[in-house]
Chains A and B, each alone.
Chain A
Amino acid sequence: MIPSPTTTRSRPLSPNVQIYRPQLTSVLSILNRITGIFLSACAVVLVVWLVAAACGPQAYAPVQAAIASWIGRIVLFGATFAFFLHLCGGIRHLVWDTVHGFELRSIYISGWSVVGASVVLTVAAWVAGALMGG
């Protein structure tokens, strides 16, 4: 069947992420957004934690137990890394807002610095937590 000229076809949109080779710049941009969404959920958990604490030890105990469980710790570890990635990525964005660091070389240096700093800070936070008796 010959399609009529008036037939609307869904055409591919650009950039087509399926065939686009991932770059540090694009991956960090997407990660900044994904971590932001994930940290929004973490902000809600912070409020649940505070409200439970305000309600008393009976309400606080199950919330504390959920955070201290294995699933809770895995999520908390992910939240720690997401937090540091969003924080370091955010500082990188604030530097860009002052119209500095836009040269390709600077962008890759700052990008890998964000990745490195996030890994180091996440490990440091958990080592410090373990030393505190977690």
Chain B
Amino acid sequence: MRTPLARAIGLGSAKEGVGAWWAERVSAVALVPLTLWLAASIVAHTGSDYATFIVWLRTPLTAILMILLLIALFHHTALGLQVVIEDYVHSGAKFAAVIAVRLGCCAFAIAGVVATLRIAFSG
């Protein structure tokens, strides 16, 4: 027979928070140069037509940076939105919302990567 307090003492936290905290920082550091590159590229392509834009996306460096950006961006987005959900949603909808965010971010990241690869490898 153990009291609830006795079961909790000594266990500390769930010990899984450091991983998410660290991943949010690592993705943030990666996103500093990658998002600045994207912002500069969008500014540089203001007024460009479709053909010019595709020629730019087709270069290997652009495709690589775009894919790295998409992975870091949606990883960071999933972690950030999860914290927001956990702070404000306290009902059973919390788990549904966190799962929806994770699946959604995964789907959008893959869609973006596939679109980039398709442009990069198109004729």
Q: B-contacting residues of A (Cβ < 8 Å)?
A: 33, 36-37, 39-40, 43-44, 46-47, 50-51, 53-54, 57, 60-61, 64, 80, 83, 87, 90-91, 93-94, 97, 125, 128-130, 132-134
Instruction: Give the total number of A-B pairs whose CB atoms are below 8 A apart.
Output: 80
Main DSSP-derived SS at the B contact region: helix
Establish whether residues A46 and B112, one from each chain, have CB atoms under 8 Å apart when the complex forms. Answer: yes
Cα of A83 to Cα of B73 in the assembled complex, Å: 12
Establish whether residues B57 and A51, one from each chain, have CB atoms under 8 Å apart when the complex forms. Answer: no
Within 8 A of A (CB), among B3-50: 25, 28-29, 31-32, 35-36, 39, 42-47, 50
Contacts of A60 in B (CB 8 A): 50
Known contacts A94-B28, A125-B43, A129-B43: does B115 contact A53 (CB below 8 Å)? yes
Known contacts A43-B108, A132-B43, A133-B46: does B35 contact A87 (CB below 8 Å)? yes
Establish whether residues A51 and B112, one from each chain, have CB atoms under 8 Å apart when the complex forms. Answer: yes
The 4 closest A-B pairs by CB, nearest first: A134-B46, A133-B47, A54-B115, A50-B115
Cα of A83 to Cα of B81 in the assembled complex, Å: 16
Establish whether residues A47 and B43, one from each chain, have CB atoms under 8 Å apart when the complex forms. Answer: no
Establish whether residues B32 and A33, one from each chain, have CB atoms under 8 Å apart when the complex forms. Answer: no
Cα of A129 to Cα of B48 in the assembled complex, Å: 11
Contacts of A50 in B (CB 8 A): 66, 111-112, 115-116, 119
Contacts of B81 in A (CB 8 A): 36-37, 40
Contacts of A128 in B (CB 8 A): 43
Contacts of A130 in B (CB 8 A): 46
Establish whether residues B108 and A44, one from each chain, have CB atoms under 8 Å apart when the complex forms. Answer: yes
Within 8 A of A (CB), among B77-117: 77, 80-81, 84, 108-109, 111-112, 114-116
Contacts of A129 in B (CB 8 A): 42-43, 46
